[in-house]
Amino acid sequence: MARTNLRSPAIDLHRRKYGIRPFCRVVFAAFIFLAANIASLLPALAADLPEVRVKEASGRIQIDGILDDPEWGRQPDAIELTQVEPRPGEPPSEATRVWLAFNRDSLYIAVRCHDRHPGRIVATSMQRDADLMNNDNIEIVLDTYNDDRNAYYFATNAAGALVDGRITENQGAALEWDGIWNVRTQIDDSGWTAEFDIPFKTIGFGPGLIQWGFNISRYLARGRETSRWASPSLDVRLSHINQAGHILGIENPSQGMGLDIKPYGIMGVRRDITRQDVVQFDPDAGADIFYRVTANLVSSTTFNTDFAETEVDTRQVNLTRFKLFYPEKRSFFLEDAGIFEFAKIPAYGPPDLMMGGDLLPFFSRRIGLVGDDEIPIRVGQKLTGKIGKFDVGVLDVQTGRFDEPEGPGRPALHVASKNLAVGRVKANFLSQSYVGAIFTNGDPTGETSNQLGGVDLKLATSNFLNRRKNISLMLFGSKTRTTGLQNKDAAYGGNLSYPNDLLKLNYKWMKIEQNYNAALGFTPRTGVRISSVYAEIAPRPHFWDIRQMNFEFGYDDYFKLDRGDWESRRGHINPFRLQFNSGDFVGYEWRWENEQLFEPWLINPNEGITLPPGKYKFNTHNFFLKSSESRTFSIQSHFATGSFYSGTIRGLESDFVWRQSSHLTASLMWAQNWIRLKEGDFNTSLVIGRLDYSFTPFITLANFAQYDTDSRDIGLQSRLRWILKPGNEFFVVFNHNWQENEMDRFESAQTRFQVKLNYVFRF
């Protein structure tokens, strides 16, 4: 009885501070306020957006980066760029001219980037989907449905890198989508040029639309200058499709039969000392079939799917009690992945919001992977696209049986053949808002019968209070059903976000009950109530060559439901973070954490170090330094020092990058932690090295080696990617692991060599 009396005041206090009733009042007031503002201000926002008419091409256009075709001999289209930064509203320091043309098969875009100092153009990468953030580049978005929320993204730099992706709900582009298109560039005495060829067979679009959303941006690396056509504002990103301009005049674009057949063939060998050290030959074949049921609805079918060309995961060191998040990298699941996102929180604020977060009801990485083992995918079917005002997505995958006998340091694993499915639908209204639902079925391990259902609502505007500010409100509710688990199986919450250049605010509230089991999702911890606030003010002063100053505060509270007490409380304060016009960056951050262990925690399995139950308070001082990535050599470093549970921690992470040219890039990342606890001392290390060489934008050899003290092995991947032509690719992939033995020596453990050819037949 005494225990109950002692706990109740704490529970009541927490409910008053973080409970449902105050949250519901805030949400209701915000809902009414947002709805009124969105409905009344939408027409005023759309009236200012520019538009241009696309001309029909009179002849064949050769894509070579040389603007000598007759179409580019006429006057450029009326697309005038305006500076976004560093001098908002002013004309760009270098002129940019743009031409648009189309025929029945493709949309063509030509760009002349004038530059009085062509020798200072920065072009450090050629590889597919390279990070062009610090290169001279051109970015283009195409809203082919004119729905003001989703778009295709295309970009290139002066070296001719092909970069593409998909934008969903006005968020940043997901670059994992690889479309079949082409671009060529040339550097000359006047600057550089780019020619884009975007086939209509590659993109979906609303049939009969008289206009598409369109925007274009140019980045001048040496002055870190960004210029944009439509909505050149610091509070607007290129991915804010609702503030893009429009192109008109594209008539009768053809997608042919809308059928792509993509067979693959693979040859390989593997050797593994944990599997009797037998060399196995792995010939295989399969196919993907893509068919446009309508102009904006795509059916994707995969048979005997293989992911040999997928890059290995970048390792992480885990100093928490919870699962780490590793992003999806497999192309079949990444294409149109944005349609399946549920209650997505904007990527602003603390790292947990930018990675897996606290709850992903659907996470495609759970399909075809159980632990570190690859489960064969026999067949998969996906239907994605638009039906009127609805975004729809259906995914159904049949996995094969997997049996792995017990081996040295590895338990036996037996997974039965399973059918796994997910369905998603969103009804769009206004310019950025929707109401949606999701359903998943299946447990990848086969241990339970599992279903999940949920609904979500998003209200958003980019013209809050008629001041062109962004604000969004997200609400969601979800429930699971799992054999052996009853009641307390719901998750619900919301997020209110105000993400703008000068001021960013974010409030998140979430409850995930004890028996909530998203078998096809990612949930680091259950049985918690979460409250999180984040605020950042970022003025742009005009002294000391500072581009922007950032002052930041964040606080997270995790309340353990079954214990009736807090589990984690953490916060951080950034008293300053300085970004200079040169691209250099310095900052300091103070982090504090309160962690309560209800059970003993084995913090270091290798050394057998266990922390006893109890309450721990600790904090760290963090120092950051980053030099401009536009330079040939750059460094990024983070040093942390302070208390950690029962002792202290010192941490250093440094990333060194050498860009010899657009062909050759080398980097080395080293992260080291020195941890001293009452229960024992240990160190952690993570070393990652990369050496990439691009012969052309279509041929790249990437080498990736890494070591960490958790796995105690060295992993190497060498991958040659040869794009014979967009859509047809040849891969040579070599993976090798060296395992550290009891005598602290490395011995060869696993080898895998594969050659794969993908070929596309378009009809």
| Position 590 confidence tier, pLDDT thresholds 50, 70, 90 | very high
Q: What is the pLDDT of residue 8?
A: 34
pLDDT at residue 7 is higher than 80: no
CATH 1.10.760.10 fits 48-248, yes or no: no
pLDDT at residue 33 is higher than 60: no
pLDDT at residue 344 is higher than 90: no
pLDDT at residue 601 is higher than 80: yes
Average pLDDT over residues 390-415: 80
DSSP 3-state of 286 = strand
| Position 761 confidence tier, pLDDT thresholds 50, 70, 90 | very high
Contacts with 131 (C-beta within 8 Å, 6 or more apart), sequence order = 125
Q: How many helices (H) and strands (E) does the chain have?
A: 4, 46
Q: How many residues are there in the chain?
A: 763
Q: What is the pLDDT of residue 500?
A: 93
Average pLDDT over residues 437-443: 95
Q: What is the pLDDT of residue 15?
A: 40
pLDDT at residue 3 is higher than 60: no
Residue 4 to residue 262: CA distance in whole angstroms: 64
Average pLDDT over residues 55-62: 90
Q: What is the pLDDT of residue 21?
A: 54
pLDDT at residue 558 is higher than 80: yes
Structure-model confidence comparison of residues 722 and 402, the more confident one? 722
Average pLDDT over residues 92-102: 96
The mean predicted confidence, pLDDT, of the chain is 88
pLDDT at residue 341 is higher than 70: yes
**Which stretch of 300-304, 346-350, 363-367 has the lowest confidence by average pLDDT?**
346-350
The percent of residues in the chain predicted with pLDDT above 90, rounded, is: 65
Structure-model confidence comparison of residues 345 and 59, the more confident one? 59
Q: What is the pLDDT of residue 349?
A: 40
Average pLDDT over residues 493-504: 93
Contacts with 449 (C-beta within 8 Å, 6 or more apart), sequence order = 443, 482, 483
Q: Biggest alpha carbon distance in the chain?
A: 89
Buried b (16+ CB within 10 A) or exposed e, 744-755: eeeeebbbbbbe
pLDDT at residue 411 is higher than 60: yes
| Position 284 confidence tier, pLDDT thresholds 50, 70, 90 | confident
- The residue behind tokens 């941006």 is 217
**Cα separations (Å) of 736 from 327, 457, 483, 716, 753?**
22, 46, 40, 5, 9
pLDDT at residue 22 is higher than 80: no
pLDDT at residue 35 is higher than 70: no
| Position 406 confidence tier, pLDDT thresholds 50, 70, 90 | low
Cis peptide bond upstream of 86, omega within 30: yes
pLDDT tens readout for residues 214-257: 999 999 999 999 999 999 999 999 999 999 999 999 988 988 88
CA atoms within 13 A on the CB side of 695: 8
pLDDT tens readout for residues 66-82: 999 999 989 999 899 99
Phi, psi of 237 (to 5 degrees): -100, 160
Q: What is the pLDDT of residue 467?
A: 84
Q: Where are the domains of the chain?
A: 1-47+336-516, 48-248
pLDDT at residue 353 is higher than 60: no
Residue 521 C-alpha from the chain's centroid: 16
Average pLDDT over residues 539-564: 94
Q: Are 82 and 96 in contact (CB under 8 A)?
A: no
pLDDT tens readout for residues 634-692: 999 999 999 999 999 999 999 999 999 999 999 999 999 999 999 999 999 999 999 99
